[in-house]
Chains A and B, each alone.
Chain A
Amino acid sequence: DIVLTQTPLSSPVTLGQPASISCRSSQSLVHSDGNTYLSWLQQRPGQPPRLLIYKISNRFSGVPDRFSGSGAGTDFTLKISRVEAEDVGVYYCVQATELWTFGQGTKLEIK
């Protein structure tokens, strides 16, 4: 099974400052169809997860452009250019190249 490892597990950030979360896969996430099915989810407190980014770098509908995704192969990054109060929550990377696995989550909190 593919294992996704996120770092850090907790990220205290000052409002208005950038934040970055890493997701490393135990094997390449490039699918035989040429796509890389790596997504990022946001889960605000008490809410279901919400899709932010799909296929590494595509922002989902309604997602602010301060969120961006990058990476390739086994290493991926979610960046928030300027953290706002509403960004507090847990962020998960998730791969769908081979079945589905989720990272363990990164808790974003305000300093």
Chain B
Amino acid sequence: EVQVVVSGGGLVQPGGSLRLSCAASGFTFSNHWMYWVRQAPGKGLVWVARINTDGSYISYPDSVKGRFTISRDNAKNTLWLQMNSLRAEDTALYYCVRDSVRVLDFWGQGTLVTVSS
């Protein structure tokens, strides 16, 4: 069974940092691009980071570029999102999502990140 389990969310002050982890199982992790997608409370979906199969290609939208860093360890079947200089507008539920050739086919439960003083 395909599973992606996210952890690491919580309450952080503006300007602070947080690291999210995504543990993948039930599939060959190294064969898939992976994404982080977030959803602000009551709002829609926005991708915030993506990484190719071996980590050699990474991209971010302008909203998080320079502040967020995505990485992966295929030996550990784990994906991370390091979030620095957090802002109130980063408050959201963060999902780890598997990409199967331009199809976001498996979504984890998500972890809530709250940026507030």
Contacts and interface: CB of A to CB of B under 8 A. Distances in A.
B112 to A, nearest CB: 12
A103 to B, nearest CB: 8
A96 B106 CA distance: 15
B88 to A, nearest CB: 21
A105 B44 contact: yes
Contact of A48 (B59, B99, B103, B108): B108
For B99, B103, B105, B110, which residue has the most chain A Cβ atoms within 10 angstroms? Answer: B103
B107 A49 contact: yes
Interface in A34-64: 35, 37, 39, 41, 48-51, 54-55, 60
Contact of A102 (B46, B50, B109, B110): B46
Contacts of A51: 103-107
Given A48-B95, A102-B44, A54 B107 contact: no
Contact of A49 (B50, B59, B95, B99): B95
B68 interface: no
Given A104-B44, A105-B44, A94 B109 contact: no
Nearest to B99: A96
Contacts of B110: 48
- Please tell me the size bucket of the interface on B: 10 to 19
Interface in B29-58: 35, 44-47, 50
Contacts of A96: 99, 102-104
Nearest to A94: B104
B107 A48 contact: yes
B58 to A, nearest CB: 13
A76 interface: no
7 contacts: A37-B103, A41-B45, A48-B108, A51-B104, A94-B45, A94-B104, A96-B102
Given A49-B95, A51-B107, A92-B45, 5 more contacts: A37-B103, A50-B107, A51-B103, A92-B44, A105-B45
Interface of B: 35, 44-47, 50, 59, 95, 99, 102-110
